[in-house]
Amino acid sequence: MQFRPTPIRHGLSVPPPASGASTVLAFSMAKAGSTLLFDILQMLTPHVGLTYFSIEDKLFADNVSPLRRPTSIGNVFAPTGYCYGGFRQFPAFPVPILHSSKLLFLVRDPRDMITSLYFSLLRSHVVPEGASGGARGQLLRARGRLEEIGINRWAVEQSRNYIRMFEGYVAQGFHWRPNVAIYRYEDVIFHKPEWIDDMISWCGWQIDGEVLRQVLASVDVTPEAERPEEHIRQVAPGNHKRYLESATIAAIDQALAEYMSLFGYA
């Protein structure tokens, strides 16, 4: 007789929709500029009648382990009234409106993502409140291991996780799907006004110029020097060359060759 685990039901408190405007979904990867993307959307969406909501951020704040993701969470998604963000990999739960909504997708050179993630986990990443298990325990264990093995060994190991992230998006056709607008971090980080304008146009939004100026003033941060203890440590592309050995870079290039070529990093 087969064993069937008990499904985990979600208990998320979802804010009400602001209007009947078409829903937009935003996806990225860990340390691809994802926080920047989601911050921009949180500031823009109230002006177009959308409620911003991040399922992943809510689960993290509630100290829910990735291994305990609810199976019924797909019914949270509504085709109108929301901007769903916070996705730093394609979720394990279903997204029923994936084919019918406008999607935004931000990617970055995986070598820079891995380098940035190392410093984030080691020094600046927020640790959720709660018991020692769940998301809190997972992060604290990762931090302890980073201190032991150093960036080069960890970077090679971490490439497997980025293969999985890329695979998740490619499996859903993010590299060809006509309802996906793809942005590369390297192309937009020093051109935020043009990037924001393009996202607004893609989504079909109309937003007052003064609102756009306020949003840009809030997010246009370019540190003059690296800040290891800050979330925005540095923004310049190619930073991995400062920290990764040539053998480490070659190993990552080989492991991620298919995806680096697909998104223009080969």
199 within some domain = yes
By the 10 Å C-beta count (0-12 exposed, 13-18 middle, 19+ buried), 104 is classed as buried
CA distance linking residue 52 with residue 21, whole number of Å: 12
For residue 91, pLDDT over 70 is answered with yes
By the 10 Å C-beta count (0-12 exposed, 13-18 middle, 19+ buried), 20 is classed as exposed
- Over residues 43-48, mean pLDDT: 97
pLDDT given at position 228 = 55
Beta strands in the chain (DSSP E): 24-27, 51-53, 82-87, 102-107, 180-184
Mean pLDDT over all residues of the chain?
Answer: 85
> Does residue 53 contact residue 14 with C-beta atoms inside 8 Å?
yes
17 within some domain = no
| Per-residue pLDDT band at 27 (split at 50, 70, 90) | very high
140 within some domain = yes
| Per-residue pLDDT band at 74 (split at 50, 70, 90) | confident
148 within some domain = yes
Residue 101 to residues 26, 86, 95, 189, 264, Cα–Cα distance (Å): 10, 16, 10, 25, 25
- How many domains is the chain built from? 1
CA distance linking residue 143 with residue 71, whole number of Å: 29
Q: Which domain holds residue 85?
A: 24-262
Biggest CA–CA distance in the chain, Å, is 64
pLDDT tens digits, 159-189: 999 999 999 999 999 999 999 999 999 999 9
> Does residue 104 contact residue 181 with C-beta atoms inside 8 Å?
yes
Q: What are phi and psi of 265, to 5 degrees?
A: -110, 5
pTM of the model: 0.84
3 within some domain = no
12 within some domain = no
pLDDT given at position 173 = 96
Phi-psi region of 225 (alpha: psi -120 to 50; beta: other; left: phi over 0): beta
The residue whose two tokens read 């100026």 is 213
187 within some domain = yes
What is the CATH classification number for the domain harbouring 94? 3.40.50.300
33 within some domain = yes
pLDDT given at position 232 = 54
